[in-house]
Amino acid sequence: MIEILLLLVLNSLYCIGFYICSDYGMLLEPVRSLEKYLGYWFNPIAGCITCMASLHSWPYLVMFGLDWIYIPYILSLAALNTILYNKFFND
C-alpha cells in the first residue's frame, strides 16, 4: 500500500511537470501543436491537468499491472493533480 501511495505522489508530480513543460515558451511546447489536430482529445495528453491522469497513469500499469485498484488509482491521481496544481502551481 505504501508503494501505491508513493507512486501516486510521484506520478502526480510527473503529470504536473509534463503539463508545465508543455506550456507555451517551455521545452515541450511542440507538444502543443497536436492540440489543433486533436481538439478535445488533446486534453489527456497535455491540455488538462485533471484529464491527464487517464493517460499518464501508465507507471501504475508498469509496476502493478491491470487490477481492480487501477480505476480508483486514476481517480485519485486526477484529484491529486488538480489539488496540487491549484494549490502550488497555478498563479
* pLDDT tens digits, one per residue of 27-82: 999 999 999 999 999 999 999 999 999 999 999 999 999 999 999 999 999 999 99
Instruction: Answer whether 15's CB lies under 8 Å from 53's CB.
Output: yes
Domain boundaries, the chain: 2-89
* pLDDT tens digits, one per residue of 5-19: 999 999 999 999 999
Q: Is the pTM of this model over 0.85?
A: yes
Q: What is the DSSP string of the chain?
A: -HHHHHHHHHHHHHHHHHHHHTSTTSTTGGGGGGHHHHGGGGIIIII-TTTHHHHTTHHHHHHH-S-TTHHHHHHHHHHHHHHHIIIII--
